[in-house]
Amino acid sequence: MVSISEIPNPMKNIFTTILFLLVLTTSFAQEDAWIYFTDKPNVEVAIANPLSILTQKAIDRKQNHNIAIDERDVPVNEAYVTDIKSQTGIVVMAKSKWFNAVHIRGTEDAINALGNLTFVDRIDFANQNLNTSLRSASVFNKTEIEESTVAFTYGDTQNQVEMINADELHLSDFTGEGMTIAVMDAGFPNVNTMDAFQRLRENGGLKGGYDFVDRTTAVYDFADNNHGTKVLSTMAGFIANEFVGTAPDASYYVFRTEDSGSENPVEESYWVEAAERADSLGVDMINTSLGYQTYDNPNYNYTPADMNGQTTYITKGASIAAEKGILVVVSAGNSGATDWQTVGAPADSPHVLSIGGVNADGDYVSFSSQGSAAQIGYQKPDVVARAGLTFVIDDNNAIVQNNGTSFSAPILCGGIAALWEAIPEASPTEVMNYVRQSASQYMNPDNFLGYGIPDLNVAQSLAVIGHNQELKAFKIYPNPVTTNLNIEAPIGINQMEVSVYNQIGQRILSQSIFENSNHLDVSGLASGVYVIELSSTRISKTFKFIKQ
């Protein structure tokens, strides 16, 4: 027997269909686009006064890695932004100093009209059909696979730490202290109150953050998605005798850039804004367990062929972050068992470390996104860590197990923070190379595991060997010397500070020398034995020499 409520109503179905199409049409009438500006104001003045645009920590980080402060560090012209906001039918969603651009939303006609403004350089629609190229793919829910939860048993977190040998670093008291990590994600509910992060808060390691989606400093109040809380726990979580993250003593900023209620390219722009904020704050690393492939509006979709490291807005932003001296760690994605299959954006950037996934036995898990022919000349994923049934802490302070490369990335990010603490003289590029070289299949990488499972203890040893080789590359001659002491430095060191000390430790000579002027005039020194110290931003060495 069928009840009346179960009998199909044809008129009701027709009405529902018409209503759906009307909502769909109205929604898609609003287009997203990036508006690029022609110039910036007072660039020279700003660069000459870097504290006006960056924090001292950011300036120090750039100097330590020989990274120039350039036009991209200068904020966009706010007068241009104000003018854009005043245009009819236009809403400004985000802005980027790196791209000198704003992300806007409006009708196609209203957006195109912005091209008449003298300060608009070009318009790039998210709907590539409006830019005369076609993209198509199906919508993919990037967090759907991560919702399997089981009870935690004591001691199981040891596997995900030992797998990458981060425990050896911890035993040597390298736990991420002094390193600052920015975490970009969907939501961080209760991070400011949970017991699992009490140790972090008491140590002053929770530096705050910002919600770029809702434009509020109340970054811990968004309760609709706890993904960021779980991600952060794999690095910073600590429950005595039960759970230890891979970098419990690092410092963290948390930024909400993902709107879990919808999929829209504006989230790429939020991410770039957060990366720019992270750069200005002087962070050392960025972890992002997000990836972008397809959107609610299919006109905005990317294709697997677009995952080439140079197409998407967020990937280009991640590459700039790397250029700025930030080590960017990104989850490869959970598309391995789908038609999409390859890594998403920004994991496709050749300048970031993209992390795939394995299970507790170190075997590839089928959902982990793979490398593809779209990545020409470089390997994706780079390396892997545990992504199958990883142990995380949810916003109820409960230890649970979840699947996803969302967790292999921060597990390794925290481990790398501990590694970098141990080898502070290394550049971000050197750290990434040490991690790759330490991995289990470095000599035979593939599209499933990349270079394999890293051994961070081996990575530290490789760094020490590399440091020693650099030290051997320093040379001074002739010795004894009469007039000019010639100095050779390792490749890549373009400037050194030189100090000369007499036999009682007094500094009697100090100057900078450069690659194109690599000698020191010692003709004014009295005859005798001296000590010379050669120092770059990452390495130093001393010699004795005789002045005749």
- Residue closest to 465 by CA, chosen among 492, 506, 430: 430
Which residues, listed in sequence order, are joined to residue 359 by a DSSP beta bridge?
none
106: part of which helix (H) or strand (E)? strand 101-106
**Beta strand pairing status for 285-288 and 238-239?**
unpaired
- Residue closest to 400 by CA, chosen among 230, 207, 216: 230
- Please tell me which residue in 185, 249, 259, 395 is annotated as part of the active site: 185
DSSP class of residue 72?
G
Give the strand order in the sheet containing 285-288.
Answer: 206-211, 251-256, 180-185, 285-288, 327-331, 353-358, 383-386
Which amino acid, 294? Answer: T
Strands (DSSP E) contained in 273-374 are 285-288, 327-331, 353-358
Active site residue 351: no
Active site residue 467: no
Return d(Cα 11, Cα 31) in angstroms, integer: 32
Per-residue CA distances from 88 to 60, 69, 113 (Å): 43, 36, 10
Determine the Cα angle at 118 with ends 114 and 119, to 5°. Answer: 85
Active site residue 227: yes
- Please tell me which residue in 269, 331, 349, 406 is annotated as part of the active site: 406
- Please tell me which residue in 103, 170, 227, 351 is annotated as part of the active site: 227
Report the first-to-last Cα separation within the chain, whole angstroms: 112
Determine the Cα angle at 181 with ends 458 and 396, to 5°. Answer: 105
Q: Which residues participate in catalysis according to the annotation?
A: 185, 227, 406
